[in-house]
Structure 1
Amino acid sequence: MIYAFDTYYYENYAKTICIAFENWTSENESFVYSENTQISYDYESGAFYKRELPCILSLLKKIELKDNDLIIVDGYVTLDNSGKIGLGGYLYESLNKKYPVIGIAKNGFVSEDSERRTVLRGESKTPLFLTSIGIDIDEIKIQVEKMHGNFRIPTLLKKLDKLTREKDELNEIN
């Protein structure tokens, strides 16, 4: 199973969604997991993971990961050639390096990273930026190119983004 995570921040809570799907070419999700949590860290430039990692780890408590499962985050796994890690790298470490983590970012990052790949999908001239840990990045590039959808953002990742931005009617923290 592939589990894709994203978090959106509202005034008084964070909403994290996970869409689970069977394989890279899936058109529809198998499961959707959702959780609203208190925001535990203010935004800190250069330390995005401090804000989002607790949200993902909390939602992961509702999911029984199995061998060969993959995790996708909206962001970066690695940040540069010196070994600096991003959200996905910290998630990988938090999961005892047991599950491969793939970062699919919509925006570029300024530092050089020889393990970063770009993917152009559909007719878009704007790439997606891929990083990974625990799995070969060149294989991931091929898989992301094959993901369902005719546009830059694959169908299920676009749905994930949409779901995180849909404000809950009650605005409660679960």
Structure 2
Amino acid sequence: MMILSVDVYYQNSRASVAGVSFLNWEDSDADGIFRTVLDPVAEYQPGQFYLRELPCILKLIEEHDLHPDVVIVDGYVYLDGHHRPGLGKHLFDALGGKVVVVGVAKRHFQGVPAEYEVFRGGSRRPLYVTSAGMPLEAAKAAVLSLHGKYRVPTLLKKADQLCRQGLAG
């Protein structure tokens, strides 16, 4: 199984996308590291974040000929937990509904109920988990099983660090 954690960093009209692949939810080390830079990238549109981020993630997957079974996005699959589509749902649809998408958000989005919260690493601040193609309870259990003793799992943090490095210099 290929699990792919993705993150995107923006600077002016450019975007750096990073993907970290691993084989098992509990893995501490990446199986693969992938990066893509896009220039230009779409402008941010309030309430339409996916229009900016989705093309970046799809470009990473296409450019590196990736075939993940699961993609973990930094954000929401559903903005209200289960109906209002967010980035992850749009990605799920763009991938033909054949790839599980798990959203792991660090910030609460208004309207997301407490049932989507998970607490890791003794943190009092939750992560918010939403999913498409996997039941919520299974997605929450998977996120809890991800390696790392802190709130943000090790390989999700690595994707964040790598995308930020992609535009350095």
Q: Shared fold by TM > 0.5?
A: yes
User: Structure 2 length normalisation: TM-score?
Assistant: 0.92
Alpha-carbon deviations, 1:48-99, whole Å to 9, x = none?
0000000011111123316xx1111111001126721000000011111111
How many pairs are equivalent? 167
Of all paired residues, the percent bearing the same amino acid is: 38
- CA contact under 8 A between 1:78 and 1:113: conserved in structure 2? no
Tell me if 1:158 matches 2:160.
no
1:28-39 aligned at under 5 Å gives the runs 28-39=29-40
2:65 corresponds to which of 53, 57, 63: 63
| Alpha-carbon distance change, 78 to 147 in structure 1, aligned in 2, over 3 angstroms | same
**1:125 matched to which residue of 2?**
124
- CA contact under 8 A between 1:79 and 1:86: conserved in structure 2? yes
| Alpha-carbon distance change, 102 to 81 in structure 1, aligned in 2, over 3 angstroms | closer
- CA contact under 8 A between 2:20 and 2:32: conserved in structure 1? yes
- CA contact under 8 A between 2:77 and 2:130: conserved in structure 1? yes
**1:109 matched to which residue of 2?**
109
- CA contact under 8 A between 2:18 and 2:163: conserved in structure 1? yes
- CA contact under 8 A between 2:81 and 2:113: conserved in structure 1? yes
Shift of the alpha carbon at 1:165?
A: 1.1
DSSP 3-state at the match of 1:9: strand
Aligned-partner Cα distance in 2 for 1:157–1:140:
15
Which amino acid is 1:58 matched to? K
| Alpha-carbon distance change, 150 to 41 in structure 1, aligned in 2, over 3 angstroms | same
Which amino acid is 1:144 matched to? V
DSSP 3-state at the match of 1:85: coil
DSSP 3-state at the match of 1:92: helix
User: Structure 1 length normalisation: TM-score?
Assistant: 0.90
Stretches of structure 2 that go unaligned for 5 or more consecutive residues are none
Q: For the aligned residues, what is the CA RMSD?
A: 1.7
- CA contact under 8 A between 1:39 and 1:51: conserved in structure 2? no
Aligned-partner Cα distance in 1 for 2:61–2:33:
12
Instruction: Judging by fraction of residues, say which structure has more helix.
Output: 2
1:69-80 aligned at under 5 Å gives the runs 69-80=69-80
DSSP 3-state at the match of 2:138: helix
| Alpha-carbon distance change, 169 to 45 in structure 1, aligned in 2, over 3 angstroms | closer
Which amino acid is 1:13 matched to? R
Aligned-partner Cα distance in 1 for 2:82–2:140:
22
Stretches of structure 1 that go unaligned for 5 or more consecutive residues are none
